[in-house]
């Protein structure tokens, strides 16, 4: 019988070592990315595509729901509609120092939705069934921090 894993799933991004020489006499520590889960109970308006919820979160985390290159915070969204609403889950990987910022972006994107109402939110540990997904997300390359893009006349500009 497999023992249940305790604590967060931690991984380094591919190609990153725990130490990397930045110059003579200095060392940089790569901060490990940890898997986190954000859940929300939602009430979707009739006719709302459940995928729209995940698209809103991806837009908040990546700038657009369709984007080139890796995510700064690799994540996976799932929405399970039911008769009395919907359960939404985002599993994301981020350095521990960025967890709160990511959670705030997710929260803001959900609360800004016009086709659903947020009934409640919570953090929870990664479930054992989600650990393979968490490891895959943690192993994907991460987009480095970047400057914000602004939208001008329908075109993204750096």
Beta-carbon contacts of 129 under 8 Å, excluding residues fewer than 6 positions away, are none
| pLDDT tens digit sequence for 113-147 | 999 999 999 999 999 999 999 999 999 887 665 44
For the beta carbon of residue 95, count every other beta carbon within 10 angstroms: 16
Domains for the chain: give ranges and CATH numbers: 34-143 (3.30.70.260)
pTM above 0.85, yes or no: no
For the beta carbon of residue 130, count every other beta carbon within 10 angstroms: 18
* Structure-derived torsion over alpha carbons of residues 98, 102, 105, 109, reported in degrees to the nearest 10: 180
């Amino acid at each position: 019988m497999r023992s249940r894993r305790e604590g967060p799933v931690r991984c380094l991004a591919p190609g990153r070592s725990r130490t990397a020489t930045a110059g003579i006499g200095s060392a940089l520590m790569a901060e490990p990315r940890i898997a986190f889960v954000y859940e929300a109970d939602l009430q979707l308006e009739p006719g709302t595509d459940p995928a729209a919820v995940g698209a809103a979160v991806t837009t908040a985390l990546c700038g657009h729901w369709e984007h080139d290159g890796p995510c700064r915070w690799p994540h996976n969204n799932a929405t399970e509609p039911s008769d009395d609403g919907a359960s939404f889950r985002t599993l994301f990987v981020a350095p521990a120092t960025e967890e709160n910022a990511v959670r705030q972006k997710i929260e803001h994107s959900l609360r800004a939705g016009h086709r659903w109402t947020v009934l409640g939110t919570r953090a929870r540990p990664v479930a054992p069934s989600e650990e393979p997904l968490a490891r895959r997300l943690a192993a994907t390359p991460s987009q480095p921090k970047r400057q914000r893009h602004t939208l001008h006349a329908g075109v993204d500009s750096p």
